[in-house]
Structure 1
Amino acid sequence: MDQTFRFLSQIAIRPLADERVHARFLTDRDLPALLELEQEKWTDVQAASRAQLQARIDAHPDLAVGAFCSRSGRLLASLFMRPVADDFHRCVTSWEDCTLLPSPATGTTLFGISLTSRDQAGVTALLKFFWPYALKRGWRYIYLGSPVPGLRDWMAAHPEGHVEDYVHARRRGLPLDPQLRYYASRGFDRIVSIKRDYFPHERSLDYGVLLRGTVPLSILRPVWSALALPTIQRIAHPLAALL
């Protein structure tokens, strides 16, 4: 443990660099920009309302993050999360179920209510920003529910096939489905369960896949709990390639 502290302390002296995208926790003032992003990226059925966005920020202000263009201030990506029990995936069938579960008093698991983006640099900024907070708070796992937008066309071409076959199909070692492949590239590579009627999504035939990602270096929880957040932020910056 002493060697780990010395290693982290050496990394911590490196300065943080400015970037063209910056991330921060969301507030009520961001609601117009959030609504615009929702309406751009989701259908009327899928998009969150102003009241829903407000409720997410109010419920967990430390788990609502936005990424913004440093020049224009335009919202590039948003991420909303909530605490869940470690075994929550066993008792849910839909995205709505995941959002309505009672929050546990303690735990190490988060559920990503939504990840919405118009710029991939925004997603990267969200992950980099939240990582130190996740380490400090002791979060170990983050779950996301993913659509499978290639499913409808695949089923049309393989009428005898099964949804499970498509979800687990690989091409050159990566998921066949483009959305699952994207999430796998961001660390959400563990397929936990496949849910029918998970969320309205025509190309996915309303199926969703619960994916689990592990917060990098979260196994060192005793170390992070002993360090101040600014120190963890300085440590995390040069290690961001792990995300």
Structure 2
Amino acid sequence: MKIISRYLRPEDIPALLVLERAKWESHQAADAASLMLRIETFPQLCIGSFCADSGRALASLFMRPVSAQAFVAPTRWENAADVRLHHGAPDAGDALFGISLSSLDSKAVTQIFRFFHPRALKAGWRDIYLGSPIPGFRKARAQNPGLQVWQYAHARRGLRVNEPLDPQLRYYFRKGFKDIVSIQENYFPHEDSLNYGVIVRGSIPLSAPKQLWRHTPICILQTFSLLALR
């Protein structure tokens, strides 16, 4: 299957709604108005992967600028994700918050990051933050009632000690989101996570020489990106 990744457009919303409903529960999925607002507000921070033959949406990533200190204090996803609260705010620096990463195909997610990486270098972005559920926590707490959320979030697999024990944290870890920034109580409604969310950070490879990349043609950055992401 050939996968095409590109910036999202308003006409993509019907396909994106199918993806949202396939991936999330009804109270978690974004509606058409929310998707439209994200695309219109930050058009170069909304990316999707599509099947080239059918046009089916396979993955989507919505982002917004964020301050690196945003997740030190308690926060909730509904506030962090509301682009109306952040559009037109003072320059947040060089970090992004991933409002939503939805996928039906891991290769489609990889394609999104391959598409975005050279453009992120060009724009001067350095870090991406995501809020992850921890879907194994409820079961682990049931087996061990004294288990603290921070113990579970930082737990590692027995045979592969570099990787998180929780399957969702492990998924993001393999995508480059290896730093746990904070653990948020009542972050979003997610029964298997007992409503906790873990903020993870991924650094964009090769992003340090910001001024150099701003003046580098995108075709050269695409070549550098292919080497870096391998």
TM bin, normalised by shorter chain, reads: over 0.9
* Equivalent position SS for 2:81: helix
Structure 2 residue 16 is matched with structure 1 residue 27: no
Map of 1:78 onto structure 2: 60
| Corresponding letter in the other structure for 2:130 | L
TM, length-normalised to structure 1: 0.88
Distance 2:51 2:227 in 1: 21
One-letter amino acid matched to 1:128: R
| Structure 2 equivalent of residue 137 of structure 1 | 123
2:18 corresponding residue in structure 1? 36
Normalised to the residue count of structure 2, the TM-score between the two structures is: 0.93
Could you tell me which runs of 5 or more consecutive residues in structure 1 were left unpaired when the two chains were aligned: 1-18
Aligned to 1:147: 133
Moved more, 84-93 or 99-108: 99-108
Query: Percent identity of the aligned residues?
Result: 49
The residue number in structure 1 matching 2:43 is 61
Tell whether 2:72 aligns with 1:90.
yes
The answer to whether the 8 Å contact 1:196/1:207 transfers is yes
5+ residue gaps in structure 2?
Answer: none
CA RMSD of aligned residues (A): 1.3
The residue identity in structure 2 corresponding to 1:197 is N
Deviations 1:208-240 (A, max 9, x none): 000000000001212211202222123322433
Which whole-Å deviations, capped at 9, do the CAs of 1:149-194 have from their partners, x for residues lacking one?
0000000000111111111111121111000011001110100000
Give the aligned length: 223
In 2, Cα distance between the equivalents of 1:198 and 1:234? Answer: 38
Distance in 2 between residues matched to 1:147 and 1:84, nearest whole Å: 20
Greater share of helix:
1
- SS of aligned partner of 1:144: strand
Query: How do 1:224-239 and structure 2 match up within 5 A?
Result: 224-239=213-228
Question: Rg bigger for which structure?
Answer: 1
Asked whether the 8 Å contact 1:85–1:104 carries over to 2, the reply is no
Secondary structure at the residue paired with 1:89? coil
Tell whether the 8 Å contact from 1:83 to 1:104 is kept in structure 2 after alignment: no
For the 8 Å contact 1:108–1:140, the answer to whether it is kept is yes
